[in-house]
Chains A and B, each alone.
Chain A
Amino acid sequence: MRLPFANIPIWPEGASKAAFEMDLLYLVIVGLTVFFCIIVFGLVIYFVAKYYAGSKADRSNPTFHNMPLELAWSLIPLALGLFVFGWAAKLFVEMQAPIQSENALNIYVVGKQWMWQMQHPTGQRENNELHIPVGRSVKLTLISQDVIHSFYVPAFRTKTDVVPGRYRTLWFEPTKVGKYHLFCAEFCGTKHAEMTGWVYVLSPEDYEKWLQDNRWGMGDEGVTVAQAGQALYEQLQCSSCHAPEQRIGPPLTGLYGSTRTLSDGRRVVADYDYLRQAILDPQAVTVSGHEPIMPPYRGQLTEQEVIQLIEFIKTLSAPEAPPVAEAEQSDDSGGNG
C-alpha cells in the first residue's frame, strides 16, 4: 500500500494466513497508542495554555494527591496491556504450533555466510530463492552452517533465528500468488545486507511445472534428498557397523521418533537434533549397551549432507516399509498430497 503522492509505501503486502490477524492486532495497538497520545498531548497542551503564568484561570484548591486517579491510570493501561499480551500470545502459539495438515510441504534451509540454500525433499535445490505453491502449509527446517542468521519474509509476517548447532522450525501458509522479499534479519558479517532473496508463491499448476523443470541430480527422475542420503550412507560405509547383522552399532530401522536410552541413563527422543548430534558428536550420546567407538563426523559433513542422512534415516521405518525409491518420489502425485 502506498501514499497517493510521492509513491511512498506505507504498508507491506500480506500473503500468509497469519498476516491478516497480525495486521489487525497491529492496528489495534496503533489505535491504543494514538488514543493515549491524544490524551497525554491533549492534557499537556490544555494545561500549558490554560495555566500559563499570569493567566486568569482559577487556581484555588489545587490537589497533589488523588488515589482513585492513580489507581485508574495504573489499572486501565494494565488491563489494556494484558489484553494485547493475551491476543499476541495466542497468535504466537498458533504461528509456532504445527498447522494441522498432512499436506504440509517439508523444506530444509541451510543458512550460511552469505546465502540461503533450500532443499526440497523431492530433490529440488535453490539458492536464495524458494518456490512454493499457494494454499498449502509449509514447514521449514532451518540450521546455520556458521553464525546466527534469521530467515525473514515480511509478506508472511514471519521470521525465525537460524542458529548453528540446533534445528529450528518455521510454519506458514501462503495465501497469495506473488513474489516476496526474503531477508536475513540477524547481523552475520560483511554481506549481511546482501543475504537476501525471493519467495515465489505459485499456483498449483505453475508449481508442478517448476518441480518438473528443476530436478536435481542425474537421470529423468532426479534424486530426492533421502536418496542422496542413501548414496552418502553407502559411500561412508555406515552399514559396516549399523547393518543389523553386524551387531556393532545400534540398528537404525525405526530410529527416527523413537525413544532411546543412553549410556548415562538419560532417555532421549530421536528427533532431528538428536540424529544430528549422533552423527557429528556420537561420543556425547552413546546408546546404552554399545561401545563409544563411532568416529565423529564433525567437520567432515556439511549441514546439507547431515540433512540428507537424516532424511534417509527417516525412511528406515519398520522392516516391512516400501523401498525408498517409491515412497519419496512425488512428482507423479505432485501437489495432491
Chain B
Amino acid sequence: MSAAGVATKQPEAVNYLNVDNSIKSWLLTEDHKRIGILYLVTISLMFLVGGIFAMLIRLELLTPAGDVVMSDTYNKMFTMHGVIMIFFFLIPSIPAVLGNFCLPIMIGARDVAFPRLNLASWYVFTLGATLGVTALVLGGVDTGWTFYTPYSSSFSHTPVIIAVSGAFVAGFASIFTGLNFIVTIHKMRAPGMTWFRLPLFVWGQYATSLIMVLGTPVIAITLLLVAVERGLRIGVFDPALGGDPVLFQHLFWFYSHPAVYIMILPGMGVMSELIATFSRKRIFGYEFVAYSSLAIAVLSFVVWGHHMFVSGQSMYLGMVFSVLTTLVAIPSAVKIFNWAVTMHKGHVKLDSPMLYALSFIGLFTIGGLTGLFLAAMAVDIHLHDTYFVVAHFHYVMVGGAIVAFLGALHYWWPKMTGRMYPEPWAKLSALIVFIGFNLTFFPQFILGYLGMPRRYHSYPDEWQTLNVLSSAGASILASGFILVAVYLLWSLRYGAKAPANPWDATGLEWKTPSPPPPTNFTQRPIITEEAYNYPIVLAKNGEPDEAVKQEEAEKHEHA
C-alpha cells in the first residue's frame, strides 16, 4: 500500500512545479496545485500585515495609558487587524491553499471542475486584498471589522467604502471557490470513490463550501447597502435617515456567524487526516464525524442572534438563538471525542504535524467551551464586548484554525514542495506557538470577567499585570510564527528531498510522487477500499501478528 520513496539519484521527474518555469505559465495556470501555491503566497503576505498590527496593539496595551499611538490610530490598528485576518487570511486559508491543492487528488480527479474559474478566484481575491491594502495606505479604517452602523455609514472619516469594497470583492473569490468544490466533489470522484470512502478532509471542505456559497451573498449585499448609505446618503441603517441600525446587525451576523464555521470546518477536516495518519488508525466513528460537519454547516445559519443579546432584540428571539447555539456545540464535541478515541489501540507518533493536531484538540476544546459562556444569555450580558469574547474567538480562530493550518502546511509540505523541513525546528516552533498562544490569550479570559471592554487602548491601572502577561505571550507567539516561516522557506532550497509518502499514510495524494505531476495521475485510479484502511494488528503483546500480516497482504493483491 505505501509507495516506495523516490530515489534521489534519478534525474528530476516532471512535476507541476518544474514543468514550466515562466511567469506567464504561473499567472495563467489552470492547475489547481499552482493556484493553491499562488494563494499561499498572497495570504502569507496578508498574514504578515495583520500580524504586525497585532504586535502594535499588544505594544500599546503594555501600559494602562494610551501613550504609544493616538486614539484614532489605535482604532485603525484593531480594525485593520480584524479585517485583514478574517477576510484576507482565515477565510481563504485552508480551502484556497490546501483544499485547492489536495482536494482533486484526494478524490482521484485530474483537476477541479472549473479550472479557469479557480484561477479567476485567485485574481478576484488579490483584487479584494489590494483594495483592503489601499484602504490601509489611505490611512486605514477605524470602524472595527464589524462595521456597525451608523458609525460606519455616517460618522467615520476613514475610507470605509474602499474597505467594504475589498471585502465585497474577496467574497466573490469565496463563492467561486465554494461553487467549484461542491461541483467537483459531486461530479468528479474517481470510480469506486463513494461518499463514505472519501477522506474526512473532503467532507470538511464540502460543508465549508456550502456555507461559502449560501452565506457570502448576504454579506455582499449588506456591505453594498453600507456603501450606498455612506455614498448616496440613502437611509437604510442610520436612524437619522429613517433606517434601522439593528437591521444592519442582523444582516451582518447572518453571514459573519456562518463565516466563523468557514474558518474552522476545514481545520477540523485537517484534524481527521492528521490523527488518522499519526495513530495509524481509521478515524473512530467516521460517519458521525462526516455528518457532524454537515450538521455544523446547517446549524451555523440559525444562531447569528447570539451576537445581539444586549442589542435590544426581543428576549424570546434571544432564547431561540441561545438554545440553537447550545445545539451547534454538540457536533463539534462529537468530533473531539471521536478524534481522542481514535488513538485508542493505535500506533501514535509525535511528528510535528501531530503536535499541531494535539494542540488543536486542547485549544479548540477550551475555545469551544468558552463559547458556552457567551451562549448563556445572562452571562453574556456581562461578557459581551469584553476581552472574554476576544479570548474566546482567538482560542478557536488561532488556537483552532491557524494551528490546524500550520499542521496541514507541515503535513502536506513534502507533497507540495518535494522537500522535507527540519523536524527538530518544527517541533520546537510547535511548542513555542503553543506556549506563546496560551500566555497571550488566557489572561484575557480573566480580564474579560473583570470587565475590560474590547477596543480600548487605555484601561484602569489595576489591570496592567494581566495585559503585560498577554503582550509577553504575543511576542513569544510571533517568534514561533516567524520561526516556522524561516525554516519552511529554508527547506525550499536546502531541505531533504521528500519521498512520495513520508508519513506512510493512506490516501490518494500519497500515491503520487512528491511533488505530483501536472495531471496528478498517469492512470485514473479506481477505489476499492475504505478511507484510512490501516492494517489491523491483532496481537495481544503488541507485536505484529504474522498471520494477520499475511492475510492483509493477500487481500491487497486481490484488490
Contacts and interface: CB of A to CB of B under 8 A. Distances in A.
B286 A64 contact: yes
Contacts of B311: 161, 163
A90 B338 CA distance: 33
A298 B466 CA distance: 46
Contacts of A157: 381-382
Interface string A27-69: 0010011001100110110011001111111111111111001
Contacts of A113: 155
A44 B150 contact: no
Contact of A48 (B75, B282, B348, B370): B348
Contact of B337 (A52, A73, A82): A73
B372 A159 contact: no
B2 to A, nearest CB: 15
Interface in A1-27: 6-12, 18, 22, 25-26
Contacts of A93: 315
B287 to A, nearest CB: 8
Interface stretch (A146-154, A220-228, A312-320): A146-154
B322 interface: yes
B280 A158 contact: no
A88 interface: yes
A161 B312 contact: yes
B512 interface: no
A144 B196 CA distance: 55
Contacts, number: 287
B520 to A, nearest CB: 29
Given A44-B358, A55-B542, A189 B151 contact: yes
A190 B71 contact: yes
Interface in B342-388: 343-350, 358, 361-362, 365-366, 369-370, 372-373, 375-382, 384-386
Interface stretch (A179-187, A203-211, A232-240): A179-187
B35 to A, nearest CB: 35
Contacts of B538: 59-61
B334 A92 contact: no
B462 A9 contact: yes
Interface in A188-219: 188-194
A254 interface: no
B348 A159 contact: no
Given A159-B382, A187-B143, A193-B455, A36 B465 contact: no
B138 interface: no
A164 interface: yes
Interface in B450-480: 450-451, 453-460, 462-463, 465-466
B310 interface: yes
A147 B340 CA distance: 47
Contacts of B155: 113, 146-147, 189
A81 B279 contact: no
Interface stretch (B38-46, B182-190, B238-246, B491-499): B238-246
Interface residues of A, number: 89
Contacts of A181: 451, 460
Given A36-B369, A60-B539, A48 B451 contact: no
Interface stretch (B49-57, B266-274, B323-331, B397-405): B323-331
B288 interface: yes
A95 interface: yes
B221 interface: no
A250 interface: no
Given A9-B450, A48-B358, A77-B329, A159 B340 contact: no
B381 A12 contact: no
A260 interface: no
Contacts of A48: 343, 348, 350, 358
Contacts of A22: 378-379, 381-382
Contacts of B344: 47, 51, 62-63
A70 B449 contact: no
B336 interface: yes
B319 interface: yes
A193 B370 CA distance: 25
B214 interface: no
A33 B372 contact: yes
Contacts of B350: 48, 52
B378 A164 contact: no
A310 to B, nearest CB: 17
B537 interface: yes
Nearest to B336: A40
A48 B155 CA distance: 55
Contacts of A73: 333-334, 337
Main SS of the interface on chain A? mixed
Nearest to B541: A56
Contact of B282 (A61, A64, A159, A190): A64
A51 B345 contact: yes
Contacts of A90: 378
Contacts of B166: none
A70 B291 CA distance: 12
A251 interface: no
Contacts of A44: 340, 343, 358, 361-362
A12 to B, nearest CB: 5
B114 to A, nearest CB: 36
A314 to B, nearest CB: 22
A61 B344 CA distance: 11
A81 B362 contact: no
B316 to A, nearest CB: 10
Contacts of B382: 22, 26, 154, 157-159
Contacts of A74: 330, 333-334
A148 B144 CA distance: 13
A84 B346 CA distance: 36
B66 interface: yes
B5 to A, nearest CB: 19
A95 B348 contact: no
B151 A187 contact: yes
B26 interface: no
Contact of A29 (B150, B343, B346, B376): B376
B422 to A, nearest CB: 21
Interface in B83-127: none
Contact of B245 (A54, A65, A163): A163
B148 interface: yes
A85 B323 contact: yes
B356 to A, nearest CB: 14
A74 B151 CA distance: 42
Interface string B131-173: 0000000000011101011110001100000000000000000
A18 B379 CA distance: 11
B540 interface: yes
A98 interface: no
A88 B322 contact: yes
A62 B536 contact: yes
Contact of B451 (A6, A59, A183): A183
Listed from nearest, the 9 A-B pairs whose CB atoms lie closest are A154-B451, A165-B239, A88-B376, A91-B378, A62-B345, A47-B343, A92-B377, A81-B326, A193-B456
25 contacts: A10-B446, A26-B379, A26-B382, A29-B372, A32-B369, A37-B366, A37-B369, A40-B362, A43-B341, A44-B340, A48-B350, A53-B280, A59-B538, A62-B281, A64-B283, A70-B288, A74-B330, A78-B326, A84-B326, A88-B322, A161-B310, A185-B384, A187-B75, A187-B151, A193-B453
Given A44-B358, A193-B458, 4 more contacts: A61-B345, A64-B283, A73-B334, A187-B454
Interface of A: 6-12, 18, 22, 25-26, 29, 32-33, 36-37, 40-41, 43-44, 47-48, 51-66, 69-70, 73-74, 77-78, 81-82, 84-85, 87-93, 95-96, 113, 146-148, 150, 152, 154-155, 157-161, 163-166, 168, 181, 183-194, 298
